């Protein structure tokens, strides 16, 4: 039973690393406490379960609120969702990026992403833009310098390579 409690604790730690909500962490600590009880009293399954529940409840009710306050007060982890971390990043347009329905592409983290101009004005290839939002899998962008192009027809709008060259 000792190995089962340890495996459960390790799996819960892995879950906690993905979610960072501080619930699975305390269940994992409870599992590790139960493993210690299992070493001392291998046949006392009820004592192991009671230990797990007591340590988990104590951690969630007594420790978690304090740790959460410290993390939030210090600007600690705040989940931004799947795409929330993209907002505010500067990227380069690879081709003409128009408004809704006329999406182009930008290079983000070495990958080609669909992008739409937040100003509903076409942005030429090679324009440095900021990601201002995400709608589904399309990034909403705005020129990084804040200036919208006057006339797209005058600019070279040919597609760029992934390195940002024509």
The terminus-to-terminus CA distance of the chain in angstroms comes to: 64
Phi, psi values for residue 112, rounded to 5°:
-85, 120
pLDDT at 76: 42
| Token pair listed for 103 | 């999406």
The string of pLDDT tens digits covering residues 113-155 is 999 988 778 888 998 999 888 888 888 898 888 777 765 444 4
Most confident of 11-15, 67-71, 129-133, 161-165: 11-15
The string of pLDDT tens digits covering residues 11-41 is 999 998 888 788 999 999 999 999 999 999 9
User: CA 56, CA 37: separation in Å to the nearest integer?
Assistant: 15
User: CA 87, CA 140: separation in Å to the nearest integer?
Assistant: 9
| Token pair listed for 159 | 């597609």
Rounded percentage of the chain residues whose pLDDT exceeds 90:
40
Q: Give the long-range contacts of residues 2-9, CB within 8 A, separation 24 or more.
A: 2/35, 2/38, 2/39, 2/42, 5/31, 5/32, 5/34, 5/35, 5/38, 5/48, 5/52, 6/31, 6/32, 6/35, 9/35
User: CA 71, CA 82: separation in Å to the nearest integer?
Assistant: 21
Output the CA torsion sign for 126, 163, 137, 82: negative
Give the pLDDT band (50/70/90) at residue 165.
low
Residues of the chain within CATH 2.40.50.140 domain(s) are 84-154
The correct answer on CATH 2.40.50.140 for the domain covering 84-154 is yes
């Amino acid at each position: 039973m000792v190995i089962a409690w340890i495996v459960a604790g390790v799996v819960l730690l892995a879950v906690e690393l993905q979610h960072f909500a501080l619930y699975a962490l305390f269940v994992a600590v409870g599992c590790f406490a139960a493993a210690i009880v299992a070493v001392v009293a291998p046949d006392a399954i009820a004592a192991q379960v009671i230990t797990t529940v007591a340590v988990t409840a104590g951690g969630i009710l007594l420790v978690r609120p304090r740790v959460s306050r410290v993390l939030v007060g210090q600007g600690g982890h705040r989940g931004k969702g799947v795409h929330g971390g993209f907002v505010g990043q500067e990227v380069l347009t690879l081709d003409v990026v128009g408004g809704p329905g006329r999406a182009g592409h930008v290079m983000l983290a070495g990958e080609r992403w669909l992008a739409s101009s937040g100003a509903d004005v076409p942005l030429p290839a090679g324009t440095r833009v900021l990601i201002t939002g995400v709608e589904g899998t399309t990034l909403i962008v705005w020129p990084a310098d804040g200036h919208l192009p006057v006339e797209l027809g005058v600019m070279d709008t040919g597609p760029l390579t992934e390195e940002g060259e024509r």
